Amino acid sequence: MLIDTHAHLYAEEFDTDRSEMIQRATDAKVNYLLLPNIDVESIPKMEALAATHSNCIQMMGLHPAYVKEDWEQQLDLMEKKLFENPKLYCAVGEIGMDLYWDKTFIDAQKIAFRRQVSWAKELGLPIAIHAREAFPEILEILDDMNDASLKGVFHCFTGHEQIARHILKYGGFKLGIGGVVTYKNSHLAELLKKIDLEHLVIETDAPYLTPMPFRGKRNESEYVKYVAEKLSDIYHVSVDTIAEITSKNAVELFQLERFKI
């Protein structure tokens, strides 16, 4: 069994073949497909997908790139949905900070991140963190807010060893490894040789960050198997061992035994 811990399968890129794409993932033994939310506009699409496919498990959160003028109103709506029925969600996500494209709302991103971390702690849910050009800012907030109740994953982790060690010292966090690990110019393979498998979960971030050999094309959940194959090469263990360990990590982190598929 494999688990795709981060996939935007409600995105318009899948509008023409969504059910077929999900069936391909199922045929490849990718049993759980975890859906991070983006903003209020993506909620109905995500809900519709989860309603028709029991293996698609929702998250709720505001992606930092969508923290704009109306961020407070968006968070109010998300908070209402999350607290009305927290059993529907496996995590608060996709949350975090992104200072790559625009720093206009840096203060709002920090406030939004703190607020959503607080939701997760109150509800006992993990967080799925987006971190782009913002590790210092995110780690400063987590240094302040981390405690025994907080857990989560740094989705699509591409940081360096010092950052990875900092994150793992929190105690409740995993590193999400996706297609980037298969790229020839990626430093991740060398980094992961120093990180135990018990700290990893795997993902696609579909439709983005497609692994080799399909880089440049649309990503989909079936392709998480190529991430597993690359990890098999790095750790010198079988793909089945990679699948077993990373799936166990994901089931425990996201409490997936709660969801019947």
Domain ranges of the chain: 2-258
What pLDDT band is residue 128 in, cutting at 50, 70 and 90? very high
In the predicted model, is pLDDT for residue 192 greater than 80? Answer: yes
Mean pLDDT computed over 37-50: 98
What pLDDT band is residue 260 in, cutting at 50, 70 and 90? confident
Mean pLDDT computed over 194-221: 97
Decide if 141 contacts 117 (C-beta within 8 A). Answer: yes
- In sequence order, what are the residues at sequence separation of 6 or more whose Cβ sits closer than 8 angstroms to the Cβ of residue 214? 223, 226
pLDDT of residue 27: 97
User: Of the CATH numbers 3.40.50.2300, 3.40.190.10, 3.20.20.70, 3.20.20.140, which one belongs to the domain with range 2-258?
Assistant: 3.20.20.140
In the predicted model, is pLDDT for residue 261 greater than 80? Answer: no
* Model confidence pLDDT, tens digit, residues 130-151: 999 999 999 999 999 999 999 9
* Model confidence pLDDT, tens digit, residues 93-102: 999 999 998 8
